[in-house]
Amino acid sequence: MKNKYMLSASGMYINYFLLGMVNIMLASNMSFLTKQLNTDGAGISYIISAIGIGKLLSYSLSGVLSDKVGRKPLIIVSSLTMAIFLIGIPLSPNYQTAFIFAIIAGIANSAMDAGTYPALIEVFPKSSGSASVLVKAFISAGAALLPFMIAFFADRDLFYGYAFFLPALIYLLNMIFMFKLPFPNHKREQSTVQQLNTAENKFISAPKMKQEGIALIVIGFTSTALFTVAQIWLPTYGQQVLGMAESSSVRLLSYYSIGALISVLVLAVLLSKVLRPVTVILVYPMITLIAVLTLLFVKVPAIAIAAAFFMGFSTAGVFQLAITVMTELFWNKKGTVTGIVATAAGLAAILLPLATGLMSKTGHISIIFIFDAMLSVVGMAAAAFVNYRYRKILNKNRSEQIQETAS
């Protein structure tokens, strides 16, 4: 039976394709922005951190609004505000104005997450895990395309801001496109699931926020921390510890990105047929730990390439799947719990660059990846507890019947 919300889902994925560009837009245009805003690389990094601040300040509110007013209004508003950011940055007359636009981008991102993840889960109730990890695939694809777009304008001596204006235009067109499309009634979805949970005894006992809820929040933090550390420090580790040339060490990030993209494509297939999201969030940190330890103890460039690939493979999609499991357990507050997990992720995005930057001042980059291994262990422990609780409280026989009826 054809899903009547397929076009709506397409619009949401387009937003995240563009978000992949936004995530690296400021760093990719650093040389232009430093001149325009009369600052240096550190100043631009502070503007980038302002996006994280905007996320952190607004995630909880966005989650509550998602449950109260619905998913569609937040998604529409996020498209508009993200377009404002993209138009505003190239036209900013000073540093302070650009900083404000960056905070606006963070708020837009939080609204997008709080609206989109619950909406995708409601659009695809039988394959919510696959629907969620595909978000990561679209983010990766957008990030891969942006450098080519920047090079296109640069080769023709065109204004660098066109690389901002084009995605802004697509955001606005997509907003108009989605404005006319149907979205699931989130209150009716919650009511239906509540009736099913009561009538069919999906849960043997009620999920507890103070137990599995907190563990999933921890996973939201560690999953974001793990890929943040890798993306910042892999090239430096390659140069200083492995003795790789600068160009070769930077390519470690390419292998990392390839691993991430392959991972989400594999998960999109397997989650709908073979794997449960709760299993992946346990297995993936184990793979990350093995990859990080290999990087630390087998200091050979060729092995580092394989380790970078598997680090990318095993950190991709974990955040999205943590949200999927959280919304499955706390189905009556999908937007709220999405906001809580995303807040933990936003906190990691702010704290980890600061913490690892301080570690780097010791002159021993290996310390950072020892810390990364410790984060993997924490993520594994939290995921093991979630798996234990999940299997304890969920009536497996009934859950499959409920998914069939809900869809």
User: Residue 246: which pLDDT band, with cuts at 50, 70 and 90?
Assistant: confident
How confident is the model over 101-122, as pLDDT tens digits?
999 999 999 999 999 988 998 8
Whether residue 174 has pLDDT greater than 80: yes
pTM listed for this prediction? 0.79
Higher-pLDDT residue of 87 and 393 is 87
DSSP3 helix / strand / coil % (the chain, rounded to 5): 85, 0, 15
Instruction: Report the candidate in 190, 164, 147, 136 with the shortest Cα–Cα distance to residue 337.
Output: 190
Whether residue 283 has pLDDT greater than 70: yes
pLDDT at position 276 is 87
Q: What is the mean pLDDT of residues 206-223?
A: 92
Q: Do the two domains 1-184 and 200-406 of this chain adopt the same fold?
A: yes
Whether residue 399 has pLDDT greater than 70: no
pLDDT at position 395 is 64
Q: Which residue blocks in 70-94 are alpha helix, DSSP H? A: 71-91
CA 160 to CA 157: how far, in whole Å? Answer: 8
Whether residue 367 has pLDDT greater than 90: yes
How confident is the model over 32-77, as pLDDT tens digits?
999 999 988 778 878 888 888 898 888 889 988 988 888 999 999 9
pLDDT at position 318 is 92
Q: What is the mean pLDDT of residues 84-95?
A: 96
pLDDT at position 402 is 46
Residues of the chain with pLDDT > 90: what percent?
43
**CATH architecture label of 1-184:** Up-down Bundle (1.20)
pLDDT at position 187 is 66
Whether residue 398 has pLDDT greater than 70: no
pLDDT at position 200 is 45
Return the bridge partners of 394, or none. 203
User: Residue 79: which pLDDT band, with cuts at 50, 70 and 90?
Assistant: very high
Q: What is the mean pLDDT of residues 137-147?
A: 85
CA 341 to CA 19: how far, in whole Å? Answer: 19
- The pLDDT mean for the chain works out to 86
pLDDT at position 18 is 96
Count the alpha carbons within 13 Å of 74 in the hemisphere toward its beta carbon: 30
Q: What is the mean pLDDT of residues 398-406?
A: 49
At residue 200, what is the residue type? E
User: Residue 290: which pLDDT band, with cuts at 50, 70 and 90?
Assistant: very high
Whether residue 373 has pLDDT greater than 50: yes
Q: What is the mean pLDDT of residues 158-168?
A: 95
Q: What is the mean pLDDT of residues 268-289?
A: 89
pLDDT at position 189 is 53
Fold classification of 200-406 (topology level): Growth Hormone; Chain: A; (1.20.1250)
Burial of 90-110, coded b for 16+ CB within 10 Å and e otherwise, reads bebeebeebbebbbbbbbbbb
pLDDT at position 190 is 52
Q: What residue spans define the domains of the chain?
A: 1-184, 200-406
The label of the residue with tokens 């930057």 reads: 357
Higher-pLDDT residue of 224 and 190 is 224
Whether residue 347 has pLDDT greater than 60: yes
User: Residue 169: which pLDDT band, with cuts at 50, 70 and 90?
Assistant: very high
Whether residue 132 has pLDDT greater than 80: yes
Q: Which residues, 6 or more positions from 159, have their beta carbon under 8 angstroms from its beta carbon?
A: 90, 153
Return the bridge partners of 203, or none. 394
Instruction: Report the candidate in 328, 22, 230, 270 with the shortest Cα–Cα distance to residue 133.
Output: 270
Whether residue 195 has pLDDT greater than 60: no
For residue 340, the Cα-to-chain-centroid distance in whole angstroms is 14
How confident is the model over 299-326, as pLDDT tens digits?
899 999 999 999 999 998 899 899 889 9
CA 92 to CA 160: how far, in whole Å? Answer: 13
CA 304 to CA 288: how far, in whole Å? Answer: 13
Q: What is the mean pLDDT of residues 370-387?
A: 96
Instruction: Report the candidate in 167, 157, 133 with the shortest Cα–Cα distance to residue 26.
Output: 167
Instruction: Report the candidate in 89, 81, 75 with the shortest Cα–Cα distance to residue 36.
Output: 89
